Structure 1
């Protein structure tokens, strides 16, 4: 890299830009996390031709919040879960030219990163596809 460029970690990028990404304060962060999860559920159901049924629960746990979003979408294959929730700029919609509900392309992975940075705890992702006998 040249002297004018340097590499930064995803976490460092997120910390420096969280105000742009919708995570400038806890209240905005909750709204952003729920919006990203619901947008993903709506996109997945729309793509699969499924009428969406989405459940959202927000509860306070000690000094942080627990957010649960469940839907009846097609699910995410087990081997794709780390990529979908752990990588920025990864998703099933990048092959399409049209913009879907999301805006920055970092969506749910940024939500997971924010949760991990603020709580120090891992995110728990459960998904089941039609081919799975049980949820992963």
Structure 2
């Protein structure tokens, strides 16, 4: 009986392998390996987000020769969740009285990984790689679908820019969804969060206009876990205040 011819092999060839190869953007890589950036669990993700934003604020103020005044606000967006649910959705906002950010740089600073001004300097600074705050915004987008919200003003006489943007991980570029100018800086909504913030605002101690004539606020909604104690946001801010006695840090949670 005649033997049937063997079926053609389905093994890959150099040509078929070459056809499948493609470049991976740095943001696409980190989106799939976010643990490398400090976002491997909800509690650490919340801490990393606050740390990156506060470090940026301190660096910006010190470079501009401004005594840092930084306000950190953490809002729980799911306060009535079941006790068995450990993580929650949070809105994290950091406001500083730094020099502000010029309009054309906002998308690059907050919407691109590995973009910054410090990497090539031979000078110590808290942030260097140009990854942190844009990675926090990327994590927030991946876990909540919400864009970053930025308010920034570079002069007391100028209007503030109100920008909302989301990172495109395939192109490592920001996609702006809102671009307005406003007189509302720092955003008035922060002053009315709690009875405590309203009381401090009335006494001129919370986000005073005289101190926040210029500056930047960054808001990120993300999945996180807020707990006090060792390795918490509270401990980080306490240690940061001790290490930077020239800075005033206000924490609302």
Please indicate, yes or no, whether the TM-score normalized by the shorter chain is above 0.5.
Answer: yes
Aligned counterpart for 2:61 among listed residues 45, 70, 73: 45
Q: CA deviation at 1:16?
A: 2.9
Cα contact 2:118–2:128 (8 A) shared by 1: no
CA offset at residue 133 of structure 1?
1.3
What residue in structure 2 maps to residue 65 of structure 1? Answer: 90
TM-score (norm 1): 0.88
**SS state at 1:65 partner:** strand
Match of 1:116 in 2: 141
- In the superposition, the TM-score normalised over structure 2's length comes to 0.49
Count of residue correspondences? 135
- Displacement of 1:20 in angstroms is 1.7
Of 41, 46, 49, 1:25 maps to: 41
Q: Aligned in 2, Cα 1:91/1:104: closer, same or farther, shift over 3 Å?
A: closer
Please give the alpha-carbon distance, in whole angstroms, between the structure 2 residues aligned to 1:12 and 1:73.
31
Aligned counterparts of 2:122 and 2:23: Cα–Cα separation in 1: 29
2-side partners of 1:8 and 1:131: how far apart? 42
Within 2, Cα distance between the matches of 1:82 and 1:58?
24
Instruction: Tell me, in whole angstroms, the C-alpha distance in 1 between the residues paired with 2:58 and 2:45.
Output: 20
Counterpart in the other structure of 1:15: 31
Q: CA RMSD in A?
A: 2.2
Equivalent position of 1:79 in the other structure? 104
Task: Call closer, same or farther: CA 1:37–1:87 in 2, change over 3 Å.
Answer: same
- For residues 91 and 15 of structure 1, the distance between their equivalents in structure 2, rounded to whole angstroms, comes to 19
Q: Which stretches in structure 2 are left out of the alignment for 5+ residues?
A: 1-16, 79-87, 162-253
Alpha-carbon deviations, 1:12-53, whole Å to 9, x = none?
312332112100011101100000000000000010011100
Task: Give the drift of 1:97.
Answer: 2.0
Q: Which sits farther off after the overlay, 100-109 or 113-122?
A: 100-109
Aligned position for 2:125:
100
Q: Secondary structure at the match of 1:133?
A: coil
**Structure 1, unpaired ranges of 5+:** none
